[in-house]
Amino acid sequence: MTKINNNIDNQKAQLMATYKRILEKEGREFDEKEFEVLLTLNGLHEEPRKKTVIHGLVVARDLNSN
């Protein structure tokens, strides 16, 4: 269970870093509610026993657009 929780924490950290890059690019501030929605969309909500991580689903924005 600890290994699963560490993996979840790593995935949350990666999502947070990606989210912050998007916000910086768009000139917006961190929004806790929006981040919680992203966690839910990516299967990283608070119930790790019932989750399935959806790899690649971060946000609907294209991270590579300029």
Report yes or no: 41 and 52 within 8 Å, Cβ to Cβ: no
Q: Is the pTM of this model over 0.95?
A: no
Q: 8 to each of 48, 59, 60, how far by Cα in Å?
A: 8, 18, 21
**Residue 23: is it exposed, middle or buried by C-beta count within 10 angstroms (0-12/13-18/19+)?**
middle
pLDDT in tens, 32-45: 888 888 888 887 76
- Evaluate whether residue 6 is within a structural domain: yes
Quote the radius of gyration of the chain (alpha carbons, Å). Answer: 12
Number of independent structural domains in the chain: 1
Identify the domain containing residue 13 by its residue range.
Answer: 2-50
- Evaluate whether residue 17 is within a structural domain: yes
- Evaluate whether residue 58 is within a structural domain: no
pLDDT over 90 (residue 27): yes
- Evaluate whether residue 15 is within a structural domain: yes
50 DSSP 8-state letter: G
- Evaluate whether residue 30 is within a structural domain: yes
- Evaluate whether residue 29 is within a structural domain: yes
- Evaluate whether residue 25 is within a structural domain: yes
51 versus 29: the higher-pLDDT residue is 29
**pLDDT (average), residues 11-19:** 90
pLDDT over 90 (residue 9): no
